[in-house]
Amino acid sequence: MTGAIARADLVDWLLEPQDPAVRAAALQRLLGRSREDPDVVAARTAAMRCDPIASILAAQDPQGWWVRPGPGYSPKYRGTVWQVVFLDQLGADPADERVRRGCEYLLGRCATSSGGFGASGAGADRPSPPSSVAHCLNGNLLRAFLGLGLGDDPRVMAAAEWAAAAVTGSGDVRFYASATCGPHFACGANDRRPCAWGAVKELRGLARIPPGRRSPIVQRAVDEAVAFLLSRDPAVADYPMGWGNTRPSRSWFRLGFPSGYVSDVLQVLETLAEVGHGDDERLDAARAWLLRHRRPDGRWVNEYAYNGKTEVDVEVQGRPSKWVTLRALDVLGAQVA
């Protein structure tokens, strides 16, 4: 690409100290540094003191919730659910008292009697009903709680086992018409058809369980999610669509950060790579699509930034994006010289 920045220069851009959250992620994901590396520790420490993490934590109530008490799914994207999800994506420190308080508050209200994490926007301060559990939210919260150091919490492991049972249709799981309405990612919001957004999010959650700690049913669910996502070309994203739709959502093709309940082509690539399928030849077209999506200078743009919808804007929509560029470089590896 004529005039494009070389990979080394792009990495230098991502390592700039004025964006310590990006710097910490780039050190680990692109340079292979460990969480204990002094440079990573310093960047993560700095990230806790500046935006966007600082503003998110400053808006938290002392009891642990954001905006209002309760299960916290709404308002999108300012409620408690979304702050926990975004704090994980930004690399917040799991040991920080405010992060722990937010996680514990939310776990006490989103964990349902079925084991899965429910999506309730009710103001009442009580747990979400099992009829509100959907793969997109369960996967988002499972990934966040695991990333924020709660892998040994029985409520987190219960959500993983619920996901596995619901995906495979095995075990004692009840389906509800309003959300997860059947096995194989069937969702009431997708006209009872398998939902690829739900599959991506659930797989992202299960992917954070180390292979050696996955139960047989969890591994079956991982394999089924991989097979489903590879059953279509992610560059086309013609996964099952309900309600008479004949064209995939445009959101598939708008790269962005942070990530809510929708997914994009890049997130499919990221997720499949995380579970060991990043080199599958069925992803060649998606990788080529991602390369074509670069600006002439070699960077990628944030096309889905949630500006004005979140507690604090992470990046400016339509501008070159450090977070999207980081995601792309991580997936493409040596394809970007």
At 337 the pLDDT is 80
Cβ atoms within 10 Å of 210's Cβ, excluding its own: 9
d(CA 239, CA 198): 11
User: In this predicted model, what pLDDT tens digit does every residue of 278-335 receive, in sequence order?
Assistant: 999 999 999 999 999 999 999 999 999 999 999 999 999 999 999 999 999 999 998 9
DSSP E strand boundaries for 131-254: 186-187, 193-194
d(CA 27, CA 40): 7
Binned average pLDDT, 10 residues per bin, the chain of 337 residues: 79 98 98 97 98 98 96 94 98 98 97 93 76 97 98 97 97 93 97 98 98 97 98 98 95 98 98 98 98 96 98 98 98 91
d(CA 92, CA 54): 10
At 121 the pLDDT is 64
Cβ-in-10-Å burial (0-12, 13-18, 19+) of 308 comes to exposed
With residues binned 3-state (H G I as helix, E B as strand, rest as coil), the percentages for the chain, rounded to 5, are 50, 5, 50
The answer to whether 8 and 74 are in contact (CB under 8 A) is no
Contacts of 158 (CB under 8 A, 6+ apart): 111, 115, 116
At 224 the pLDDT is 98
Three-class secondary structure of residue 310 per DSSP: coil
d(CA 137, CA 37): 32
User: Which of 4, 7, 5, 11 is CA-nearest to residue 25?
Assistant: 11
